[in-house]
Structure 1
């Protein structure tokens, strides 16, 4: 699977529409002037509304479960637009996949 590399200013939201913030683990590798994203980064979600049914479990973090298979950034797999992720509640309950809507268009990886 190939896709554009994510960077810290990419627009990523939880399945309920709340914005995710990527805190980079490294700052040496940049794309479009921003640090490239890897699985070592801390991806937090703030302001998630509760899901429409069941107990309140707002999304608080994103775990990338299928990142790049070929590109590593400081030893950690890079995150691509096509990477599979999972938004998690505070108790680690899965909430659904994150949505990537805006990402840089120059660097593509696998």
Structure 2
């Protein structure tokens, strides 16, 4: 599935509205001057409003699908159309806004 590559600082939210950020950006590939993100990099989620008695809040997330044809150091990169799962809630992350210039599949 083609999509825009995701850079550090992209607008990424959990299903409840918490802001997600990568913990290990990839400075080897820059996207609009910002580091890209490899698929294996863990993400932290801050500001998830889901209360603990409802199974929340979202704390971390990991991507399970990303680029296939474009890699950095042999590792796939995070795509806007990729899929990720938050822990402990199991809800997805959504990339609302990523850089528009570099697309991959």
Once the two structures are superposed, the pairs formed by residues 47-62 of structure 1 within 5 Å of their partners are 47-50=47-50, 55-62=54-61
Q: How many residue pairs are counted as aligned between the two chains?
A: 105
The answer on 1:99 being equivalent to 2:94 is: yes
User: What's the CA shift for 1:57?
Assistant: 2.1
Gaps of 5+ in 2: none
User: What's the CA shift for 1:25?
Assistant: 4.4
Gaps of 5+ in 1: none
Aligned CA RMSD, in angstroms, stands at 1.8
Query: In structure 1, what is the equivalent of residue 104 of structure 2?
Result: 109
User: What's the CA shift for 1:54?
Assistant: 5.6
- 1:24–1:78: structure 2 CA closer, same or farther, 3 Å change rule? same
Q: 8 Å contact 2:39–2:65 — kept in the other structure?
A: no
Once the two structures are superposed, the pairs formed by residues 66-85 of structure 1 within 5 Å of their partners are 66-85=65-84
Distance 1:26 1:40 in 2: 11
Query: In structure 1, what is the equivalent of residue 23 of structure 2?
Result: 23
Distance 2:24 2:35 in 1: 7
1:58-108 deviation per Cα after TM superposition (whole angstroms, max 9, x unaligned):
11111111111111122221110010111112xxx51x1111111000000
Moved over 3 A (4+): 53-56
Distance 1:70 1:83 in 2: 13
